[in-house]
A and B are shown apart, each in its own frame.
Chain A
Amino acid sequence: MRLLRRFRPRYLFLLLIPQSVHAHLASTGFGAYYDGAADVFLHPLRIASILALATFAGLRSQAAARYTLFCMTGGWVAGALIGIAPSEPALSILGALALLLPALLLAADAPVAPWGCAVVATVVGTINGVPDRSAGVEPLPMPAGILGAGAAVFVITALTAAAALSIHRSRWRVVLRVMGSWLAAMGILAAGWVIRFH
């Protein structure tokens, strides 16, 4: 019992640290559904975008977090199903913008209504869900892979928004706003980089 208490849940974050993969598409060996879920973690820009928006929604209110959870997931799945594949530079710029918008909202702690969060989540989710068809990248297998990706997005958003909802001390809100400004700065620089070098 003492051993269980010492192994606190907070250390479970270590399980989130991924190992290197050496395939075009994440191959977990557990099937297409889990391959799709793992694929979400192969795009750091998209992960940052989810974290920024989920944190912002959690800091706003429970309603905003709820709307963001379902709209982000739905938008992601819709983006994947639409199947429109813009060119790689356009995809990179859209990805940077999908990070910039929620990060700016988080940095400013903007007073956005829950329906506004829903709109932003739908847009961000759709952009991030668009398949990456750059050279050599295999598309997610339909429909299991897309459902797996949607499930991963749902879980990440839920956990992040829930943690943000529990934050009441203003000091932690400040820390998260600073993180948001850093993410926004990353998005701006990434967009400029793509425009310059692609």
Chain B
Amino acid sequence: MNEGAMSGDAPAHPVPRRHHRSASALLLATTALAFAPLAQAHLSAGDGGSFLGGLQHPVSGLDHVLALVCVGIWGAQLGPPALWILPITFPLVMACGGFLGLIGVPLPGTEIGIALSSILLGGLVLTRTRLALPVAMLLVGAFAIFHGHAHGAELTPGGNALWYSLGFVIATGALHACGIAIGLVHRWPWGQSVLRVAGALVLTGGGLFLWKALV
């Protein structure tokens, strides 16, 4: 009997390969079951369109893309646990913002908030600022509300809610993952310079968007 499994403590002996296989099996099964929507009794032409629409929405604007990628880069700079907590926080809070946008709750200054997110996140990456995890989560969450609200308010009727939200979340996560992958180069001296340039570019882009929003 593996006491470690029952109490949740780390086992005394190395983890057998069968546990890795179990984890793989879990992920593979989950992936397969993700195809369950194929078995809908009524296949409507809108379902595939809903998924693609959701997939396309987070990448529909450069202002969104810059901020999402920058969250991943900053998380990589901060290292664990921020590395994975920030990409958990952002989609979750963004979905809340999307919910508010969908039900029609107004949020003033959405475009300004989105532009400011690029400016601030780009600045944090440029200066390699390290903040306490709760503060980082608060900051990222605050910006995520604006991004989510903008997406939610732009949605049009028609299509399947689940397919759309699945595509939306996948695209958001993919952009975070891109940012994390880019951010991992901070381990090397040349990588740190690359990231500072990237941060400067994001900051500049945010400045342009802010100017557009104010004019």
Which residues in A have some Cβ–Cβ distance to B below 8 Å? Answer: 9-10, 13-14, 16-26, 38, 41-42, 44-45, 47, 51, 55, 60-63, 92, 96, 107, 137, 159-160, 162-169, 172, 174-175, 177-179, 181-182, 184-197
The one of A62, A163, A182, A195 that contacts B26, using a Cβ cutoff of 8 Å:
A163
Say whether B88 contacts A26, CB under 8 Å: no
B21–chain A nearest beta-carbon distance, Å: 7
Given that A182-B91, A195-B103 are known contacts, is A10 also in contact with B39, CB under 8 Å in the complex? Answer: no
Q: Which residues of A contact B8 (CB under 8 A)?
A: 60-61
- Contact call A167/B19, Cβ cutoff below 8 A: yes
User: Is the beta-carbon distance between B28 and A10 smaller than 8 angstroms?
Assistant: yes
Give the number of residue pairs across the A-B interface with Cβ within 8 Å.
Answer: 174
Chain B residues closer than 8 Å to A163, beta-carbon distance = 22-23, 25-26, 29
Minimum CB–CB distance for A79 against chain B, Å: 20
Q: Are B39 and A196 neighbours in the complex by a CB distance under 8 Å?
A: no
Residue of B whose beta carbon sits closest to that of A162: B22
A-chain residues with CB within 8 Å of residue B15 when the two chains form the complex: 168-169
Return 16 A-B CB contacts under 8 Å, by A number: A13-B32, A17-B38, A24-B41, A44-B34, A55-B26, A96-B161, A162-B22, A181-B92, A184-B95, A186-B95, A186-B165, A186-B169, A191-B99, A192-B99, A196-B103, A196-B155
Return the chain B residue nearest A175 by Cβ. B27
> Closest Cβ of chain A: how far from B28's Cβ, in Å?
4
Q: Name B's interface SS.
A: helix
| From B34, B158, B164, contact of A189 by CB (8 A) | B164
Docked complex Cα distance between A192 and B153 (Å):
11
Once the chains bind, are B24 and A10 in contact (CB under 8 Å)? Answer: yes
A13 touches B161 (CB 8 A): no
B5 & A107 in contact (Cβ 8 Å cutoff):
no
Q: Is the CB of B29 within 8 A of A13?
A: yes
List chain A residues, Cβ under 8 A from B25. 9-10, 13, 163
Contacts of B95 in A (CB 8 A): 184-186, 188-189
Assess whether B35 is interfacial by the CB under 8 Å rule.
Answer: yes
Bound form: Cα–Cα A62–B2 in Å: 11
Q: Please, how many angstroms separate the alpha-carbon atoms of A117 and B100 in the complex?
A: 29
Residues of chain B within 8 A of A16, CB atoms compared: 29, 32-33, 35
A168→B23 CA distance, assembly (Å): 9
